[in-house]
Every structure is written in structure tokens, then in C-alpha cells.
């Protein structure tokens, strides 16, 4: 399935209502297609360390906010604590070779893979803590576990 090129662009994130342009949509295809990516507008620019974006494509026409006969594509930057802190104090964030650091620790990008679990949705990241996302609104719900549970191995006393 082609993914809109805008998912890796640097433009503002926009809702889209998509049309089938050839053939017919199968009646038995339902649910949602969910994908995550790195916000390419995040500074410093780095494909792996941008703030997390979760995108959802409704696979039933006329649902998810789309008009009848169209498919809703909705994407949101995950408003994690890291995102909120950087918005308030960008001067305290410093880019490094393996992420962005701050007095509060490394930024948790949560931009790698969506993980559905029952009626819940999580955003994961290879080097950080998963976060829960509202599966309908795509808004940030909470970080998973305590921060100390997700420290990278090189910060643990057994690795020093």
C-alpha cells in the first residue's frame, strides 16, 4: 500500500480525506492502518530522532471524520513530555550523535512502531520508553512504566 509522501516531508501535518482513484474498495476491508514516523521538522533534523508522529488511515469509507465515500488519513505529533519540555525550553536541549539530551535526560522520540494491544495503542522507540496513544484521537495518553525502568543499558550501574 503506498503511503503519502507527506509522511516524510518537512511541511505541517495535515488531515486528508482520500479517494479510491481506480477500481472499487472491497466491502470486507475494515479497521485501520496505523503507521508511525519521525517528525522531520524536529530540530536538530535527524531521521531517527525526530518527535514521534502517529498516522491512522480508516479503512472504512465515511468513518474517522471523512465524508461519505472517502477515507480519513489523520496524523498527529505525539505530545509527549519531551515534546512539551522542548517547546518551553528549547535552549536546554542539545543534539548529540545518538539523540538529543537535556537536563531531564534524552528525548524520548517514540517514533518507531505502533503497537496495538487489545483496544489500546502504543508508540514505541528503539532507544526509549513506549507511550500510550488514544487510538481514536491519536493524542498522547501516558508514558509506560517509570522512567527508571527504561534507562538505556549504558546508564545502568552494572554497565559502568
Instruction: Decide if 93 is inside a domain.
Output: no
The predicted structure's pLDDT at residue 137: 92
Q: Render pLDDT for 9-31 as a digit per residue (tens, 0 to 9).
A: 667 788 999 999 999 999 899 99
3-state SS, residue 88: helix
The model's pLDDT over 56-95, given as tens digits with 9 standing for 90+, comes to 999 999 999 999 999 999 999 999 998 999 899 989 988 8
Place of cell 482513484: 21
Q: Does the residue 45 lie in any domain?
A: yes
Between CA 89 and CA 105 the distance in angstroms is 14
In a domain, 118, yes or no: yes
Into how many domains does the chain fold?
A: 1
Please give the Cα distance from 74 to 36 (Å, whole number).
11
Q: Is residue 98 part of a domain?
A: no
Query: Where in the sequence is the domain holding 69, given as residue range(s)?
Result: 5-81+109-159
C-alpha cell at 68: 461519505
The pTM score is 0.80
C-alpha cell read off for 77: 505529533
* 15 alpha carbon, distance to own chain's centre: 15
Q: Output the pLDDT for position 94.
A: 86
Amino acid at each position: 500500500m503506498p503511503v503519502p509522501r507527506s509522511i516524510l516531508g518537512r511541511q505541517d501535518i495535515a488531515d486528508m480525506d482520500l479517494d479510491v482513484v481506480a477500481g472499487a474498495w472491497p466491502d470486507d476491508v475494515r479497521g485501520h492502518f496505523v503507521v508511525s514516523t519521525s517528525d522531520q521538522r524536529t530540530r536538530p533534523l535527524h531521521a531517527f530522532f525526530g518527535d514521534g508522529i502517529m498516522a491512522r488511515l480508516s479503512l472504512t469509507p465515511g468513518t474517522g471524520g471523512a465524508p461519505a465515500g472517502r477515507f480519513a488519513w489523520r496524523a498527529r505529533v505525539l505530545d509527549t513530555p519531551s515534546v512539551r519540555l522542548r517547546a518551553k525550553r528549547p535552549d536546554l536541549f542539545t543534539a548529540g550523535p545518538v539523540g538529543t539530551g537535556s537536563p531531564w535526560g534524552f528525548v524520548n522520540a517514540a517514533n518507531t512502531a505502533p503497537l496495538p494491544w487489545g483496544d489500546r495503542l502504543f508508540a514505541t522507540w528503539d532507544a526509549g520508553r513506549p507511550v500510550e496513544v488514544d487510538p481514536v484521537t491519536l493524542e498522547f495518553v501516558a508514558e509506560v512504566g517509570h522512567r527508571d525502568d527504561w534507562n538505556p543499558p549504558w546508564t545502568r550501574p552494572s554497565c559502568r
